[in-house]
Amino acid sequence: MSSEPASPSSIYSSEEEITRTMGDVIKDYDTEQLIDYLDRNNLKLDKDDFAILRKQKIDGLSFLELTEEKFREIGFALGPTIKLTKFVEGLNETKLQAFSSYKKVEQLKELLKKYKVNGEKIENIKQFCPVFEEVEDDNESLNQCISEIVLRLTNIKSMTDANEATRCEFISSILHASIAIVRGLTNKEINIELQSDISGEEASGRVDYAISGVEDLLCITEGKPRNIKIGYLQNIKQLESSFHMNKKKRTADEAFNDKDYDYLYGIVSTGTDWHFIMFTSEGILCTSKSEYQINLTKSAIKKNRDLLKENVKQIISIIVGLLKDRLIACDEPDNKKRRVQEIIGNNWEIIGKNNK
């Protein structure tokens, strides 16, 4: 009996069941990644305890097999043994939370508090002006994108209350055009994946779109038109997990030295409204007070197609700028912090005005 083809609603469904546990994440850690994780969990272990893990070459997979008796055998004192035994037992019982389960304003408030945002609204997040790369009017990828958008606007009934699958078609056209332009500017490998699986130390699940090169570069979340702040909540959690995955991809020397620094970009979009997020080792910035919009209506085709093109070109120019900036930074990990400081520094007056 043949199976029914997947419907658009099932392809783009935001509901997902997460069965991964923290143990599933830990098992892939090498020794230094394991030590970094234990240190961040405030178990109050000291350098002698970490020296034992290094001497015995305990990585994540072997750590999960340690019992109270084995901890004592390899040299741990009674106090650390008790703490670590209970910690290991909890790892296989702690399920990661699904990105789609982050859908409450209270969760957003807690997340903003975590990142020391002075307030409980997305407008309270420090603002930044996105990196901008000028795209010429005759750019082939831009014009192909415009043609696709016009064709789709002509064929659909209305964008008013359009469902997620419909909105994603417009988002996809813009993202693919942006990637093609970036590839031409940088000659670097860059790819997009729909419904990409990402797992961090707190949450796991699918990202609507993920763009990556050597590392993850940008996560895109399809936001709800009347509830964009929940899109922010989910996107920041996805960026946290991507940030964690990038760290795992690096060698121990790269990921755990004093110079370690990273940043990623995020997008929350309804197709018409576009919000940009900058996620760094020091905190988050965004464009919640700026309006970046595309008029995706049939009237936009009939009355002012030039304005439609300008709107689309602006969004593509921003995405190209962000991707180009982050893609080049992948080659210079020691300069990531300097690059973030430059971006923030160039916009210091704007940030100050928006946060008064």
The verdict on 185 and 255 lying in the same domain is yes
Domain of residue 35: give its range.
Answer: 22-91
CA triple 258-261-267, angle to 5 deg: 165
Q: Are residues 85 and 126 in the same domain?
A: no
Residues 297 and 194 in one domain: yes
Contact indicator for 203, 237 with CB cutoff of 8 Å:
yes
Query: What pLDDT score was predicted for residue 7?
Result: 36
Spatial CA neighbour of 310 closest among 71, 149, 92:
149
Stretches where the chain sits below pLDDT 70 are 1-19, 249-260, 330-334, 346-356
> Among 91, 125, 144, where does a domain finish?
91
Task: Write down which residue in 43, 63, 91 finishes a domain.
Answer: 91
Residues 54 and 199 in one domain: no
Q: Are residues 46 and 142 in the same domain?
A: no
Structural domain ending residue among the three candidates 91, 120, 138: 91
Residues 71 and 215 in one domain: no
- Predicted confidence at residue 76, as pLDDT, reads 96
CATH of the domain at 178: 3.90.1570.30
User: Which amino acid is present at 248?
Assistant: K
CATH of the domain at 64: 1.10.150.50
Number of structural domains found in the chain = 2
Give me the pLDDT at residue 4, please.
39
| Confidence at residue 56, expressed as pLDDT on a 0 to 100 scale | 96
Question: Are 78 and 113 in a shared domain?
Answer: no
* Cα 168 to Cα 176: distance, rounded to the nearest angstrom: 12
| 132/43 same-domain check | no
pLDDT for 350: 44
Residue 16 pLDDT: 53
List, in order, residues 6 or more apart from 23 with CB less than 8 Å away: 64, 91, 92, 94
Q: Are residues 80 and 218 in the same domain?
A: no
Token pair recorded at residue 80: 């650390």
Q: Is residue 7 part of a domain?
A: no
As a whole number of angstroms, the distance between CA 29 and CA 36 comes to: 10
Which has the closest alpha carbon to 77: 48, 114, 105?
A: 48
Residue 184 exposure: Cα atoms within 13 Å on the Cβ side: 13
Instruction: Give the pLDDT confidence score for residue 14 in this predicted structure.
Output: 43
pLDDT value at residue 161: 78
Both 113 and 76 in a single domain? no
| Residue 120 within a domain | yes
**CA-to-CA distance for 157 and 139, rounded, in angstroms?**
29
Strand partners, 45: none
